[in-house]
Structure 1
Amino acid sequence: MRFWLIVVLFSFLASAQASDLTWQQAQQNKGGVITIQYKLNEPFLLSNDGVLEGLEYEMMIGFQRFLSKKYGVKIQYKWHEWQTLAEIFGQIQNEENAGDIGLDIISWTADRERNVKFSNPYFPDFQVLVTHRTNPTVLHEEDFSNPYSDYTAISVLGTTYDQNLKRIKEANQFGFELKYIDKSTQIIQEVAATPRSFGYSDLTRYLLALDQNWPIKRLNAFAMKGHGLGVVFNHNSDWDAPFNEYLASPEFARIKKGSVQRYFGSEFNAFIKNLSNHQDEEVVLLMQEKMFMDEELELNRQEVERQTRVKNLMLVIIAFAVVIAFFLFNRSWIKSKANKQLLEHQEMIEKQNEELIAVNQDKNNFIHILSHDLRAPINNINSISKILSADLKLEEGETKMLHHITTESQRLSDMVTRILDIEKIESRTIDEYQPVDLGKLLAEIAKNFSSAAAAKSISIETDLEEGTYIMGLDEFVFHVFDNLLSNAIKFSPLKKSIYISTNRVGEDIEISIRDEGPGISEADQVKMFHKFQVLTAKATGGEQSNGLGLSIVSKYIGLLEGNLRCESTLGEGTAFIVSFQAAPQDVKKL
Structure 2
Amino acid sequence: MFISCIKRLSAGLWLILFTGSALCAQTKADSWTRVSEQGKGSITVLWDEIEPFIYRAKDGKLIGVEYELMEGLKAFLKKHYQVQLEINWKEISDFEKIYPLVRDADQPGVFAVSYYSITEDRKKDVRFSPPYMPDLNVLVTNNQVPVFESREDFRAQVRSLRGYTQRGTTMETDLRQLQAQYFPALPVAYDTDDYAILKQVSQTPQSMAYVPVTIYVVALQRGYKIKRQRLFDIHREGFAAIYSKHSDWETPVTAYFNSQECKTLVASLIRKYLGEEVAAIILGVSEAGNYNGNSDDISLLTKEREIVTHRLMDAAVELERQQSYRNRMLLLLGCSVVFILLLYTRFRTKQRLNSVLKQRNQLISTQNAQIDQMNRRLQLKVLQTRMNPHFLFNSLNAIQYFVVEGDKRLTLQYIKRFSGFLRKLIQFGDETVVAVADEIALLKAYLWLEQSRFPDLLEYEVAETDTATGQQVLPLLTHAIVEKQLYKRLLNQGVPGKLYVQFHPGADVLTVVITVAVTGTALPEAYVNDAGVQKENALLEERIRLFNKHSKRKISVTTEEQGSVSTTTIKVPQPLFEPVTDAHPFHKT
Q: TM-score, normalised by structure 1?
A: 0.48
The structure that has the greater radius of gyration is: 2
Q: TM-score, normalised by structure 2?
A: 0.48
